[in-house]
A and B are shown apart, each in its own frame.
Chain A
Amino acid sequence: MGGRKETPFLPPNVLPMKHLLSKRFRQEIEGLLFVFPYLLLWGTFVLWPLGYGVYLSLFDWHPIRGSKFVGFANYIALFKDVRFLNALSNSFKFAAMVVPLVLIVAFLFALLLWGWKGNRHLSSFAQAVFFFPYLLTVSVIAITWRWLLDPDFGFVTFIFKYFRIPAPTFLSDPFWALPAVALATVWWLSGYRMVVFQAALGDIPQDLFEVAILDGAHLNQILFRVILPLMKPAILFSLVLTTISAFRTFGQVLMMTEGGPGRATEVLALYIYWNAFEYFRIGRAAAAGVVMLFFTLLLTLLGVKILGLRSELY
């Protein structure tokens, strides 16, 4: 990533007064010119709203009546709000369920397909099947799983009844609702991570395996000493992506449970949405958003640290 100095070259027709403006200056302008379209969009729709959002979080926002600067009062109120704390804990619970499951499922599938000794067509087909849900939109995922888990006519309920096991009402049960949404999410996202892991597995040089087998290594040792360490970048990538995804979850929850029953599945994103667009507590919602940002960054950094992957990032 360190810059290699470009050999400067002279664009013959671009600037007629080339002898008046230094090369350095021209290069600067040129560089910025190319970045400009992106920068304009990014600055307007990513950077500025973020800044303004942080700014809003410091106010009790009532533009007509007069907003009041309240500093960190919104944040303090947030952490005193039972509903916010519930949303935060739900988000953590959800991430704790989704992230490991997605990574494990994706890894197992990748391993299975990578080491597949059977029918090639079958493994190709399997890969397609495992991957496909990722392409579906969140609404379809929600509808699919809500229908599967329907307490009256859902297929899963039917299976339970068939085996004479009392079926929980999943999405209407405060205990099962969040895991149910997590399950749907795992089904949705694993395929993508699987492909990433497959690529990483494919990158591992064959000789390493041969050497390991010659050295008499067990499967376990190969897994933990050879495969996993070499897959660190892929694991990091998937970890970061999945953590952010899990923490930001909105669509599935909204469409599967609307945050219910009670507040059992009300996650942070949903809390922000209600506060901003139902209750019009803009300062409060903005503060919650900043908190979400903070935790996302924190979790990501933690993940990076734990897996010792700082070198991979740069």
Chain B
Amino acid sequence: MKKFLGVLVGIAVSWWLVSFGQVVEIEFNTLFHEADAKAMENIVNLFQSLHPEIKVRLVQGRWAQYYAELRLSVIAGNPPQLGICHVNRLVEMVDYLTPLDASPVGNLLELGGIDPALFPEATWKAGQMGGHQYLIPLDTHGWGLWYNKDIFAAAGLDPDKPPQTYDEFVAACEAIKKAGYYAFHPAEDALPRKLRRAWEIFYYQMGGELFDPAFTHATFNNEKGLKALEFLVNIFNAYGWNVVGGNGYAQFTAGKLGMLFAGNWFYPTVKQSGVNFGYAPVPNLFGIPYTWGASHQLCIPLQPAGTPREVYLAAMKLARFITENAYLWTMTGGHIAANSKALEDPRLLTSDYWKESGHILNDMIQKGLVRFPINHPRGSELEKAIETYIELAVIGQISPAEALAKAEAECNRILQGG
């Protein structure tokens, strides 16, 4: 009996000695799905093959519930070591994230060799709060103008000169409409949040702001907001450029839509559909050619006390690897990498995606024309309030004026703590 126990103990000790300090395990939890998830999986697999001493457990899935999950996992004491945070969610999530410059084991940015100069200044700064850096930019993504070159030709328009001013745009729409196609769809598949983004584009272009800087009240129920919403509603109604309930994605891939506002993630679908497409910056309709966009950033959720240094460093290693190899990310997912090193990679620069659409989006980003969603702890509620009424206005249930008034009332209620 004693001998048996002795052998057991011996085995246990040797196992412990062998595994001690050898492999660090970390979990990387993302909200990516489908094409994005595949792209990230490829990057992580590449990392894994080059760094066998770090074992990465990759968990991906729908974005619904992601942030709630992240917070609950921090509270429960078993958070992932690396996560994703949209730049506009920082305010909500800040209590649950590790400040990278002041983590329990030191300045992770220095230790991990992350150089802020490699990232666009605005995107880098967006990951800061209260004097600390919480996020490392992964990408910026946004909406651009996709157009059907064949329809342009059929409508008598120049397929290599997409409209860039209001007059050009209206003329193009009318020509396409006359040629018997859907002229324009401003919002991908017309889901409520997409309709809201379209409205925001028009509104921002006019120079409008949604809320005051201190977020005490809504500032969009005004002449500009109304003009923007009326324009949006008219696209589907009075102007006849599209129909209520029309799905821009479907129309475009079926070759029935002349112009579409959609995100860079539309690229693989468009390529597959075989449509002869062109890509252009969002036209300057109302003053400043802003477009809607967002930014994925990497974050390290708050880890339980006593988490060893190696774990933090492993997470940073993975983060750095991802940003440096984000050319893969851009090529497959279409989101424009934030790390400028990745943007110089020849594999990216010679890819179809870059040549056909990516570089134009990158241009818009570099020029600071991409507007991120509002940054407020109750941002998602505010956005939901606005899009509810915008949707009702578009389908004709209420007037644009009424929609803005109701949205304003609800936003104010939310901002006042309701």
Contact = CB atoms under 8 A, between A and B. Distances in A.
A279 B75 contact: no
Contacts of A274: 384
Given A81-B418, A172-B395, A276-B68, A263 B75 contact: no
A150 to B, nearest CB: 10
A172 B410 contact: no
B357 to A, nearest CB: 29
A262 B67 CA distance: 24
B175 to A, nearest CB: 26
A65 B95 CA distance: 7
A174 B397 contact: yes
**For chain B, what secondary structure do more than half of its interface residues adopt (helix, strand, loop), or is it mixed?**
helix
B245 A169 contact: yes
Contacts of A63: 75
Interface residues of B, number: 28
Contact of A80 (B65, B384, B410, B418): B418
A65 B302 CA distance: 13
Given A64-B96, A77-B418, A261-B395, A278 B245 contact: no
B364 to A, nearest CB: 29
Given A64-B75, A82-B410, A172-B245, A261 B380 contact: no
Contacts of A80: 418
B95 A279 contact: no
B392 interface: yes
Contacts of B381: 278-279
A151 interface: yes
- Scoring A63, A262, A277, A279 by chain B CB atoms within 10 A of each residue's CB, the highest score goes to A262
Given A81-B418, A260-B391, A261-B392, A62 B95 contact: yes
Given A174-B397, A263-B388, A280 B245 contact: no
Contacts of B245: 151-152, 169, 172
Contacts of B302: 64
Contact of A262 (B74, B92, B397): B397
Contact of B64 (A81, A260, A277): A277
A260 to B, nearest CB: 7
How many A residues are at the interface, by size bracket? 20 to 34
B71 interface: yes
B265 to A, nearest CB: 20
Contacts of B391: 260-262
B378 interface: yes
Interface string B374-405: 00001011001000110110010100000000
Given A80-B418, A278-B68, A64 B74 contact: yes
Contacts of A172: 244-245, 395
Residue of B64, B68, B96, B192 contacting most chain A CB atoms (<10 Å)? B68
A132 to B, nearest CB: 31
A228 B292 CA distance: 62
A117 B75 CA distance: 65
Contacts of A169: 245
A179 B381 CA distance: 27
Interface in A74-116: 77, 80-83
Given A81-B418, A174-B392, A276-B68, A64 B397 contact: no
Given A81-B418, A82-B410, A260 B68 contact: no
B67 to A, nearest CB: 7
A34 B92 CA distance: 48
Contacts of B392: 174, 261-262
Contacts of B389: 262
A151 B410 CA distance: 30
A261 B302 CA distance: 38
14 contacts: A62-B95, A77-B418, A80-B418, A152-B245, A169-B245, A172-B244, A260-B388, A262-B389, A276-B68, A277-B64, A277-B68, A278-B68, A279-B378, A280-B67
The 3 tightest CB contacts between A and B, nearest first, are A277-B65, A277-B68, A64-B95
